[in-house]
């Protein structure tokens, strides 16, 4: 069976090798394992020398979690607690816009990735969730996930993947305020948007939680399945 190539965005960070710190492309291995466990083959995408040409070799792409999306991208002033990485924003916004312009490329956004997807689609973000919902349950601290339920909209892709309700984990202090051209398809009990999608695209889905850190990899499995169809067609054209 064809294993589709799934791109995973990474971020740059100084990392110790031996006795020295050097710049490195960094990504939790849980993302890679999630792609491999669901039948894909992971390909890491770095932030240096960004270019949309990388998408030509992929069957699907995951925009991963991490730093805040720069508020200038949606016309807002930064909150005191907003921490963005301009190099990563620039590289991934270019990739996201190119990916969304390709109706046949499956896209999954995880946490920051969902927020990036939203901003690229004309939406806006809440820059600090506790200011909106009045609690820190979505970001409990000490790198512990906040666990809660989400309800999924009937007829949505999220509902087809997860059913009417699902327990999820989360660790984020920003969230979707306005989904722009996307459709909100999942909500936490406090009303915070937890899933967005494009019903007019082949596969474009964003989830606010971190399925790669759980045993429920269904969002990754759905992406890989959508990418497998693209991979089969691509490989057949290459062989012809």
Q: How large is the average pLDDT for residues 3-10?
A: 97
227 or 170, which is more confident: 227
The per-residue pLDDT for range 168-215, each reduced to its tens digit, is 998 999 999 999 999 999 999 999 999 999 999 999 999 999 999 999
Q: How large is the average pLDDT for residues 4-10?
A: 98
Using DSSP's 3-state secondary structure scheme, residue 30 falls into helix
pLDDT category at 134 given cuts 50, 70, 90 is confident
Active site residues: 111, 210, 212
Task: Look at residue 239 in the predicted model and tell me its pLDDT.
Answer: 60
pLDDT category at 141 given cuts 50, 70, 90 is confident
The per-residue pLDDT for range 14-70, each reduced to its tens digit, is 888 888 888 888 999 999 999 999 999 999 999 998 899 999 999 999 999 999 999
Q: How large is the average pLDDT for residues 123-149?
A: 86
37 or 145, which is more confident: 37
- DSSP labels for the chain? ----EEEEE-EEEEEEETTEEEEEEE--HHHHHHHHHTT-EEEEE-SSS--GGGGGG-SEEEE---SBPPGGGGT-PPPTT--B-HHHHHHHHHHHHHHHT-TTS-EEEETHHHHHHHHHTT-EEES-HHHHHSS-TTS-STTPPEEEEEEE-TTSHHHHHH-SEEEEEE--S-EEEE-TTSEEEEEETTS-EEEEE-TTSSSEEEESS-GGGSS--HHHHHHHHHHHHHHHHHHHHHH-
> Considering the entire predicted model, what is its pTM?
0.94
Using DSSP's 3-state secondary structure scheme, residue 6 falls into strand
| 167: pLDDT strictly greater than 90 | yes
- Residue 100 CB-half CA count within 13 A: 25
Distance in Å from the first CA to the final CA of the chain: 18
Task: Look at residue 143 in the predicted model and tell me its pLDDT.
Answer: 66
240 or 104, which is more confident: 104
Task: Look at residue 112 in the predicted model and tell me its pLDDT.
Answer: 97
Phi/psi of residue 69, each to 5°?
-75, 130
Task: Look at residue 18 in the predicted model and tell me its pLDDT.
Answer: 80
């Amino acid at each position: 069976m064809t294993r589709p190539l799934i791109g995973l965005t990474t971020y740059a960070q100084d990392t110790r090798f031996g006795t020295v710190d050097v710049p490195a492309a960094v990504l939790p291995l849980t993302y890679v394992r999630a792609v491999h466990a669901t039948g894909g083959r992971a390909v890491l995408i770095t932030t240096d020398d960004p270019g949309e040409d990388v998408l030509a070799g992929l069957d699907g792409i995951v925009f991963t979690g991490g730093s805040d999306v720069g508020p200038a991208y949606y016309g807002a002033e930064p909150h005191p607690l907003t921490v963005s990485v301009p190099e990563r924003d620039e590289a991934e916004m270019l990739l996201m816009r190119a990916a969304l312009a390709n109706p046949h490329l499956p896209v999954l956004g995880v946490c920051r990735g969902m927020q990036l997807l939203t901003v690229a689609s004309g939406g806006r973000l809440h820059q600090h969730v506790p200011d909106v919902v009045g609690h820190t349950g979505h970001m409990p601290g000490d790198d512990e996930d906040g666990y809660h339920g989400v309800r999924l909209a009937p007829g949505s892709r999220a509902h087809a993947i997860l059913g009417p309700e699902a327990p999820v984990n989360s660790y984020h202090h920003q969230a979707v305020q306005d989904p722009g051209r996307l459709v909100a398809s999942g909500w936490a009990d406090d009303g915070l948007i937890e899933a967005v999608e494009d019903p007019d695209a082949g596969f474009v889905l964003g989830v606010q939680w971190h399925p790669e850190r759980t045993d429920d990899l269904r969002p990754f499995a759905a992406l890989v399945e959508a990418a497998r169809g693209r991979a089969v067609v691509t490989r057949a054209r290459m062989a012809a």
